[in-house]
Amino acid sequence: MTTKQIRLLYLISQKSERQAYIEWTIEGITDEAIMELQDQDLVFVDIGEGFVGALRTISLTAKGQDFIKDYCDACECMPCDCNWGHE
């Protein structure tokens, strides 16, 4: 798993509704990287219907939520071994 994929999982986990739009702010994340996360059952990709047909959202699965809970955004390690991001 790449650092960008881990960062994506972390950002989704920080959203209050646990969703993010694929038209991103994360530079360099590709559809292939997202599909790889989906294949690993870490995220669920939902494609809108009707007038929002081109809108895709990503949600963390239960497995994805469990996976990312030990990520430290302060040092970007997983699990955190520096205690910078954890009290």
pLDDT in tens, 8-60: 888 888 765 555 555 555 667 788 888 999 999 999 888 777 665 667 778 88
Which helix (H) or strand (E) is 7 found in, with range? helix 3-14
Query: Which class for 11: exposed (0-12), middle (13-18), buried (19 or more C-beta within 10 A)?
Result: middle
Q: What pLDDT, on a 0 to 100 scale, did the predictor assign at position 25?
A: 54
Does pTM surpass 0.85? no
Q: Is 62 left (phi over 0), alpha (psi -120 to 50) or beta?
A: alpha
Strand boundaries in the chain, DSSP class E = 19-21, 43-47, 56-60
Contact 42, 13 (CB under 8 A): no
The domains of the chain, with CATH numbers, are 3-68 (1.10.10.10)
